[in-house]
């Protein structure tokens, strides 16, 4: 007699055993059934062990342990290993983030879970807050894919920035970060500047609209002095005043690396504007500078004119809406007559008294583009040809 096992095999039971079972009172039919059941359980256990061995072998392959398989295709196996390892990394990242969100009692950001291997993580306007930033910071450590981190307008405040600073200081992947409109204040500025100084891979930082004042300027000055790899810095829409200008000016003079600086919509006036202009005079790296909407006034314009006499690197300058009169514009223009590198002077307000100066600068710098406000185009006849060609056809001649 043969019994079919759970794994599909058969088991032979001798006839004399069956007869003994039939005659013996101790070996009832129930006991026979129990014996067969135990055998089936043993067969299932053996089958599970075999599957576990196969799973362990697969895990070993994912971890880089070679296992020879007859007739396997090397390229196909390599692709499968890469895909499996990548998916495993994503699962680890998601698990760490969700666990961290539970610890900090915050709702997970679904866009972070959908990010995958995208080099840009865009979480702007998500209302993360300090707690959400702490949850995010712990999971960013295990995510090597992110190159650009956008956290604009999330109310991080000082506490949230301090949590992120620890991650940014150690990251060798993130090179572009936007922390604008997060109410950083002096505490957040101190934390983020210290983190950036410790991370030489960071190249672009945006800190616009964070209420940065005089105290924060000291940390920013330290950043300018210490970080030679930073190429672009946005400090617009803050509250950097005269004292901040006096602090940032000398740091700008010593900076060796920054190419683009936006410090528009601040309060650089009087002595602060002059100190900042003197810093530009000594700088030999900066190529693009936006100091619009600061109130430089005529003293600041005069100082900028002196800076342009010496500076032979700057290519683009935006000085619009700085309360510069005709006298200040003339002082600025005298520096333009000597400068040989500036290609674009954006939206400086000109009037008829500036015409003669514009004509003389035209002869020295025929390629300079002077852009004026739309309501002043009636004076275009004395401006440079490159600007004249860009005027609307309806403009008066």
pLDDT digits 0-9 by tens, 199-220: 999 999 999 999 999 999 999 9
Residue 223: pLDDT band (50, 70, 90) is: very high
Lowest mean pLDDT among 46-50, 98-102, 199-203, 270-274: 46-50
Residue 111: pLDDT band (50, 70, 90) is: confident
Using a pLDDT cut of 90, give the percent of the chain over it. 49
Residue 174: pLDDT band (50, 70, 90) is: very high
Environment class of residue 355 by beta-carbon count within 10 Å: exposed (0-12), middle (13-18) or buried (19+)? middle
pTM reported for the whole predicted model: 0.69
* Average pLDDT value for the chain: 76
Sheet bearing 148-150, strands edge to edge:
120-122, 148-150, 176-178, 204-206, 232-234, 260-262, 288-290, 316-318, 344-346, 369-370
Q: How far is CA 208 from the centre of its chain?
A: 14
Lowest mean pLDDT among 108-112, 191-195, 198-202, 258-262: 108-112
Helix (H) or strand (E) holding 176: strand 176-178
Residue 356: pLDDT band (50, 70, 90) is: low
**DSSP state at residue 236:** -
Judge whether 179 and 161 are in contact, CB under 8 Å: yes
Q: Tally helices (H) and strands (E) across the chain.
A: 14, 12
Per-residue pLDDT, 63 = 37
Q: What pLDDT, in 10s, does the model give residues 366-389?
A: 666 665 544 333 223 233 333 334
What is the rounded distance in angstroms from the CA atom of residue 367 to the CA atom of residue 387?
10
Per-residue pLDDT, 241 = 96
């Amino acid at each position: 007699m043969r019994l079919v096992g759970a794994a599909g095999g058969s088991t032979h039971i001798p006839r004399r055993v069956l007869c003994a079972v039939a005659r013996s009172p101790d070996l009832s039919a129930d006991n026979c059934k129990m014996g067969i059941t135990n055998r089936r359980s043993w067969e299932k256990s053996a089958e599970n062990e075999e599957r576990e061995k196969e799973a362990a072998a697969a895990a070993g392959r994912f971890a880089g342990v070679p296992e020879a398989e007859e007739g396997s295709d090397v390229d196909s196996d390599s692709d499968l290993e890469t895909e499996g390892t990548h998916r495993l990394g994503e699962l680890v990242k998601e698990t760490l983030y969700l666990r961290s969100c539970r610890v900090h009692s915050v709702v997970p950001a679904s866009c972070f879970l959908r990010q995958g291997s995208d080099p840009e993580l865009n979480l702007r306007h998500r209302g993360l807050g300090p707690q959400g930033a702490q949850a995010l910071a712990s999971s960013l450590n295990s995510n090597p894919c992110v190159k650009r981190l956008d956290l604009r307008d999330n109310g991080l405040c000082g506490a949230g920035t301090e949590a992120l600073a620890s991650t940014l200081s150690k990251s060798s992947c993130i090179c572009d970060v936007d922390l604008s409109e997060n109410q950083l204040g002096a505490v957040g500025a101190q934390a983020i500047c210290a983190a950036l100084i410790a991370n030489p891979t960071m190249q672009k930082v945006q800190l616009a609209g964070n209420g940065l004042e005089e105290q924060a300027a000291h940390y920013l000055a330290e950043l300018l002095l210490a970080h030679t790899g930073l190429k672009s810095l946005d400090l617009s829409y803050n509250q950097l005043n005269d004292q901040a200008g006096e602090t940032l000016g000398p740091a700008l003079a010593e900076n060796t690396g920054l190419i683009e600086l936006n410090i528009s919509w601040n309060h650089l006036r009087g002595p602060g504007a002059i100190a900042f202009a003197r810093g530009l005079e000594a700088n030999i790296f900066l190529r693009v500078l936006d100091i619009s909407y600061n109130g430089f006034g005529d003293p600041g314009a005069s100082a900028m004119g002196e800076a342009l006499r010496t500076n032979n690197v700057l290519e683009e300058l935006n000085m619009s809406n700085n309360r510069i009169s005709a006298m200040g514009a003339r002082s600025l223009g005298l520096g333009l007559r000597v400068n040989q590198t500036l290609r674009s002077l954006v939206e400086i307000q000109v009037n008829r008294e500036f015409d003669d100066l514009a004509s003389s600068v035209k002869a020295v710098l025929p390629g300079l583009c002077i852009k004026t406000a739309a309501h002043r185009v009636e004076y275009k006849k004395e401006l440079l040809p490159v600007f004249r060609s860009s005027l609307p056809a309806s403009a008066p001649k």
